[in-house]
Amino acid sequence: MRSLRRRKQNIWICKASIDDSHMEPITTYSKPEMHRVSVSNTSGTPHELPVGLVSEYTRYFVSFDRNFHPEEGMVLFVDREPELDDNGELILGENGEPNVKPDYVLTHIMDTARGTIARYGIKKIAGDEESAPESDGDDDEQDGQG
pLDDT tops 60 at residue 1: no
Sheet strands (E) in the chain? 8-14, 16-19, 26-29, 33-39, 59-63, 75-77, 104-110, 118-124
Confidence of residue 126 (pLDDT cuts 50, 70, 90): low
The percent helix, strand, coil of the chain (3-state, each to 5) is 10, 35, 60
Mean pLDDT, to the nearest integer, of 96-114? 89
Q: Write down the pLDDT at residue 7.
A: 77
Tens-place pLDDT, residues 33-78: 999 998 888 766 666 666 666 667 888 899 888 888 999 999 999 9
CATH 1.10.4030 fits 5-127, yes or no: no
Q: Write down the pLDDT at residue 130.
A: 47
Residue ranges covered by each domain of the chain: 5-127
Q: Write down the pLDDT at residue 83.
A: 94
